A and B are shown apart, each in its own frame.
Chain A
Amino acid sequence: MSKIIFFLCRLASVFLFCVQIEFFTTYLYAQEISSIDKALSDGNPDQAVSLSKESSNHYLSQLIELAIKRKLSSSSQWHTLMHYKKNFYGKLESQIDGEDFFMSKSGKTNPELELHATLAGFFSQVTIPSNNLTTQCRYVARYEWLKKELQFDPSKLPESDCKEFNIFKRGFRASGFSVVFPSSHPNSPGSMFGHTLLRADRPGQTEATRMMAFSINYAAIADQANVSSFIIKGLTGGFPGRFALLPYHLKLREYAQMENRDIWEYSLNVPTEKVDFVIKHLWEIGPTYSDYYFFTENCSYLVIALLDVVYPDDPMTNDFKSWISPVDTIRSLIARNMVTKISYFPSYYKIIKARQNLISDTENKLALNISLAGLIPHESHFNSLEDSRKVLVLDMAYDYVKYDRFSSSKEVDSKLNTIEKELLLKRSKIKIPSVHLDINPPEHDPTEGHLSSRVELDYGKMDSKDLLHLGWRAVNHDWIDPPQGFNDDSMLEFGNVSFRLFSEEGKNNIRINKIHIIRIENMEQWNRFFRRFSWRVTTGFESFNAKIQDDHLGYILRGGPGLTYRFGNILLYTIIESEIAVSNEFSRGYNVVSGLATGVLGTYFNKWRFHLYGRVMEPLESNFKQSQTVEFIQSYSFSKSVGIHIGVKGYKLLNKWHNEAVAGINLYY
């Protein structure tokens, strides 16, 4: 009997012990879960992650384990969503700089921790400060992808109803995308390389209704800094870049103000089901910022980075090694067969010029006068016209008034002034619809232009010395480059370096010929209405032939205004030019020259270009610098990538004429 009791006691104690263990482990289990939950509710995803790695009882631990097993944090989809790229040191780093974009404190440089912290965040109702949304409702693209990859169990990880995002998505009504490229014009250096933005197109969209679609624009938020700090900050990431959304009609209004911007629209074949994912990612990235770098992480880079999320296995952002020009990003899209249609919309400037062509000189003068003083002073002349001519004159006059308003103020004011009201009232009473202006698009769109960089290799003679000339230009376009896809009345260059190798009395000398930082030239035709001056500016370092044997590099800033007239394919210009040169060679340390330059530019058959000019400059220190120059350069382009050129130059120095002749090839890449 006592043995049975003893045995029963033993059993009971074992049972109690087991129950204790049970309670204890349940207690521990509950403690683990609750400590993870506490970390989540404290808004500390990093801690929740590290706690969950110590146990496997919380659903978060299981998800993290599965994510590790499936190597999700090293997948290309995760990298495109997080914008991870190898930095200068070869380490992965996200190109997004706003702290609020990362769930983990080390998220910017650690894809794995970021992914785990994101998973942790999905369990939490804690909101992210920058826009007061929970992780699930802010990181909607990450959620969609992770849910699919890890097959979330909604009973263990409830799905939130993200009202704000759903409204946002409904407002877009998007079913496709277009990339919009407003072309650049030298009058606006900030637009030097053009710009690209994305537009979320709607089903059944027409040319008219495309105005209602939302444009997605990435730009630097620049304070009203002075020019030099603007340049420095813009190049070195001193400004934050942010996305802004505007209905396209407002973007078009902006471009009407920047009168010379033609607009090219490239419709893309992104499938509708992928469009939603891009919009989700836009929602994730919209509230934050990335440091804006004018040449690399610029407007057009972020546009393709946005699209990369739906093409993670072959990201377009990987196509670019150094600088990124907007045109190059469109070329990337075309190379991937993503562009289905190209549309062209002329600038306000071109519209006015087309309208000017419809009326006689007298009618044009009348329109100009009416635009300045209203109808009443010119009533009798106006009334003498036939109705159809009245319509043309009124339309022209209205455009003149509007254009003047746009170009003389920064404000986009949509209120009509007195003259506009008078003109439109009169116009409304003539029941003839206005003429539809037929403006032919340029033969080539900007992507068909030559590639930005150029190498030139020449052989030549300077006086009796043989020389080899080697030049490299970083970006853009020159008077002798293949003209397709560019305006023929302007040029812009950034970074032009050249060396010369001289062979003289058996010795070889290599000298830097020039280092141009920027060169902008704008030879616009003088127009009675626009009254635009031509101008040009060059700055950089050039070699001076001070005394014949010596060559010295000095800093120069050269430029001035002028006038240009166009005769078909020929531009005839005259520029009043000045130059400041800084060098120790000068007794004062600097020299100043001023004078006149006149020249002829021509472009024929899209292949042959020439530039003939003469320049007379009076220097302050009369022994110095070229005082008279005549040069004739011509080029012939075999294709967009190869051309040849020949140049002959004569210049007077120290009352003696010198000659130079070079011939060589240009390669564009």
Chain B
Amino acid sequence: MNKKLCILFICAITLCVASVQKSSADEKGAGCGIGKVILEGRTGMGPHIAAAILNDILVPRSTFMSTATSIGQPVLGCDPSQTVEKEVEQNIFVAENMDTLSKEIAQGGGLHLEALADMLGVADADKPNFFSMTQDNYSELSSHTSSTKIISTIKLSMAKNDSLAHYVQ
């Protein structure tokens, strides 16, 4: 009798463990381009993240997105209509990737930082300089939480740097 209970017990545990899968987000995008206004009445991780991160960017809904969100579950996504302006595109990039950018700035380079450099027009030859400059300014940059402030701080530092100043004229 004891042996049977034991077997049943092991069985229950092993099958439970085997059948619990780590549930993944399954292609739901992080919120992007949805400001605080749209957060109201919506649940789910996207709008909350969007509101928390994009607290200084209020991007209106676009035609492509608004239709998709009017039926059933909101589909969270950015829309090219919203990032037509390069500044908005840069802001969303920095806001949503702040941790990766911080890491790359501290480490003296990385792919996301390189993408930011490209967006600011920095030529390949000047990139090592750009990475070095941002690393030097890590403390100041990491004290800001707003993407617009971070970008403007970077631009200010570039203006003070001989080889990078001409990019921000």
Contact = CB atoms under 8 A, between A and B. Distances in A.
B80 A172 contact: yes
B84 interface: yes
A402 B99 contact: yes
Contacts of B64: 131, 168, 245, 283, 286-287
A187 B7 contact: no
A212 B135 contact: no
A258 B21 CA distance: 13
Given A414-B97, A421-B142, A191 B3 contact: no
Contact of B93 (A164, A212, A283, A299): A212
B112 A433 contact: no
Contact of B14 (A170, A219, A243, A559): A559
Interface in B83-128: 83-84, 89, 92-93, 95-100, 102-103, 105-112, 114-115, 117-119
Nearest to A186: B21
Interface in A202-227: 206-209, 211-212, 214, 217, 219, 221-223
Interface in A306-351: none
A191 B26 contact: yes
B115 A245 contact: no
A412 B15 contact: no
A53 B93 CA distance: 54
Contacts of B158: none
A559 B107 contact: no
B7 A620 contact: yes
Interface residues of B, number: 78
> Main SS of the interface on chain B?
helix
A287 B81 CA distance: 14
A288 B68 CA distance: 7
A245 B27 contact: no
A247 B81 CA distance: 12
B72 A221 contact: yes
Contacts of A195: 27
A410 B44 CA distance: 11
Given A286-B67, A433-B108, A536 B18 contact: yes
B59 to A, nearest CB: 12
Interface in B1-41: 3-4, 7-8, 10-12, 14-15, 17-19, 21-30, 32
B17 A560 contact: yes
Given A212-B93, A410-B25, A425-B142, A247 B45 contact: no
A96 B70 CA distance: 18
How many A residues touch the partner, as a band?
Answer: 35 or more
Interface in A407-431: 407, 410-416, 420-421, 424-425, 427-428, 431
Interface stretch (A151-159, A487-495, A574-582, A629-637): A574-582
Interface string A638-662: 0000000000000000000000000
Given A246-B32, A258-B24, A431-B135, A168 B80 contact: yes
A198 B99 CA distance: 26
Given A217-B29, A414-B53, A434 B68 contact: no
B49 interface: yes
A618 interface: yes
Contacts of A249: 93, 96-97, 112, 115
B138 A242 contact: no
Given A412-B30, A424-B138, A618-B3, A221 B73 contact: yes
Nearest to B92: A247
Contact of A289 (B28, B71, B102, B112): B71
Nearest to B113: A208
Contacts of B95: 414
A414 B96 contact: yes
A196 to B, nearest CB: 11
Contact of A559 (B4, B15, B45, B92): B15
B139 A576 contact: no
A612 interface: no
B18 A559 contact: yes
Interface in A383-420: 395, 398, 402, 407, 410-416, 420
B111 A416 contact: no
Contact of B80 (A214, A288, A593): A214
Nearest to A391: B107
> Main SS of the interface on chain A?
mixed
B102 A219 contact: no
A185 B30 CA distance: 21
A498 interface: no
Contacts of B119: 209, 212
A249 B118 CA distance: 14
Contact of A171 (B23, B68, B80): B80
B27 A171 contact: no
A240 interface: yes
Contacts of B132: 431
Contacts of B83: 171, 247
A183 B146 CA distance: 34
Given A618-B7, A620-B4, A415 B15 contact: no
Contact of A594 (B14, B49, B71, B103): B14
A560 B3 contact: no
A299 B138 CA distance: 41
A254 interface: yes
Contacts of B130: none
A577 B14 contact: yes
A253 interface: yes
Contacts of B117: 208
Nearest to A561: B17
A496 B25 CA distance: 29
Contacts of B72: 221, 240
A594 B105 CA distance: 53
B14 A246 contact: no
A420 B99 contact: yes
Given A133-B63, A254-B27, A254-B29, A244 B76 contact: yes
A245 B26 contact: no
A167 interface: yes
B105 A592 contact: no
A85 B18 CA distance: 41
Interface string A118-141: 000000000000111100000000
The 3 closest A-B pairs by CB, nearest first: A171-B80, A287-B67, A578-B11
26 contacts: A130-B71, A167-B80, A168-B79, A172-B80, A188-B24, A189-B21, A209-B115, A209-B119, A212-B93, A212-B119, A217-B77, A219-B26, A219-B28, A245-B78, A245-B79, A245-B80, A258-B25, A286-B68, A395-B107, A411-B49, A415-B99, A420-B99, A425-B142, A428-B138, A594-B7, A594-B14
Interface of B: 3-4, 7-8, 10-12, 14-15, 17-19, 21-30, 32, 45, 49, 52-53, 62-64, 66-68, 70-73, 75-84, 89, 92-93, 95-100, 102-103, 105-112, 114-115, 117-119, 131-132, 135, 138-139, 142, 145
Given A246-B29, A424-B142, A431-B108, 16 more contacts: A130-B67, A130-B71, A212-B115, A247-B92, A247-B93, A249-B115, A250-B30, A250-B78, A251-B29, A254-B30, A410-B23, A412-B30, A433-B107, A434-B108, A578-B15, A593-B7
